[in-house]
Amino acid sequence: MGSRKKQMADAIKEQKKQIAFAKLNNCPTSPRKMRLVADLVRGERVEKALNILRFSQKEASNRLEKLLLSAIANWQAKNEDADIEAAELYVKEVRVDGGAMLKRLRPAPQGRAHRIRKRSNHVTLVVDANNKTQS
């Protein structure tokens, strides 16, 4: 690896150390259903996002709530000296990607078969501190 490429890779690695995120892989919910809940909390402050997820009727909200708590714990581990209330954490990014698909066959009339696609997804949730200095 060239010296410039190595310096750039090290710089990116240092930036990633500051990011607090949590990942949920192979969640057995369709990505479309998970995105409905993810759109509710994207960009919200952490306290408000937890309340939204806690009182939501959707089944995907339980998994996202657990994931958000994990991301907050990861942020605390990286910033041990900082206070959560003072940092004003917010949900910086929520990404829902399609995962592996289980393919099943359902019998149909006249000897045919219909394919049932049981979808899964991967969710990545990034939490960041709101350190905006007003001038």
What tokens were used for 73?
């714990």
Domains and CATH numbers, the chain: 20-129 (3.90.470.10)
Strands 113-118 and 121-129: unpaired
Structure-token pair, residue 9: 């890779």
The candidate with the shortest Cα–Cα distance to 65, out of 78, 75, 53, is 53
- Report the predicted TM-score, pTM, of the whole model to 2 decimal places: 0.84
Residue 23, SS3 per DSSP: strand
Contact between 118 and 101 under an 8 Å Cβ cutoff? The reply is: yes
Among candidate residues 111, 88, 85, 115, the one with its CA nearest the CA of residue 103: 115
pLDDT tens-digit profile of 32-81? Answer: 999 999 999 999 999 999 999 999 999 999 999 999 999 999 999 988 88
